[in-house]
Amino acid sequence: MTNAGQTVTVTVVCKRFALGRTASAPRGDYELCTVRKQVKKGRVTVTTYGNPVKVVVHLKAPSTNGYTAYRQKKAYDAG
């Protein structure tokens, strides 16, 4: 929830990366991470599975009178 009373939408993307070489695309049945959202606590938990991944978190909220739209993107290297 923002200070303008708007609900924040959270999107999490996990991308595979390899240090010093090009990362290959994962198989369709292979999960790089799982995301668990706890809405009442305002918490997002990302679990990775041993491979090096880049986790990108997007936060978005619409604009209202007197407030601009909220957008934030943060990237984390896991593994």
Task: Tell me the domain boundaries of the chain.
Answer: 9-78
**Residues of the chain above pLDDT 70, percent:** 85
Residue 35 predicted with pLDDT over 90:
yes
Residue 22 predicted with pLDDT over 60:
no
Measured from the Cβ of residue 8, the count of other Cβ atoms closer than 10 Å reads: 13
> Residue 3 corresponds to which tokens in the numbers above?
């200070």
Residue 57 predicted with pLDDT over 90:
yes
pTM of structure: 0.79
